[in-house]
Amino acid sequence: MTVIINSPFASPKDYVKNLTKSEAVKEIEQGQKDTAIAPAEDKIILSERAKEVYRLTKMSESLPDVREDKISAIKSRIASGEYNVDSKKIAGKIILESILNEFA
């Protein structure tokens, strides 16, 4: 395995050492043995945090992208004329965000 240290995307810590092959597998590859011996299986052991991230990711995939209950409530308020927008509040937030982006 070649490790490219100058890569901006990876550090040497990101790579895992290659597993050395058992002597039996080396002999089979070199043609020194006629009988086939299956190599040991590779295993992946996940940390508890990785398992939790996986579980939550799967759970979030089952959630809808849009909250239909909120959308229907806002639509009905707009249709009935009860939904009012405070233009000064929106303008203030736009200005505040642009100032924060300027200094960030």
Cα(49)–Cα(63) distance, integer angstroms:
21
- Is the model's pTM score more than 0.75? no
Q: How far is residue 50 CA from its own chain's centroid?
A: 11
Cα(49)–Cα(57) distance, integer angstroms:
12
Note the pLDDT tens digit of each residue in 24-63.
566 666 665 555 556 678 888 889 999 999 999 999 888 8
Note the pLDDT tens digit of each residue in 84-99.
889 999 999 999 999 9
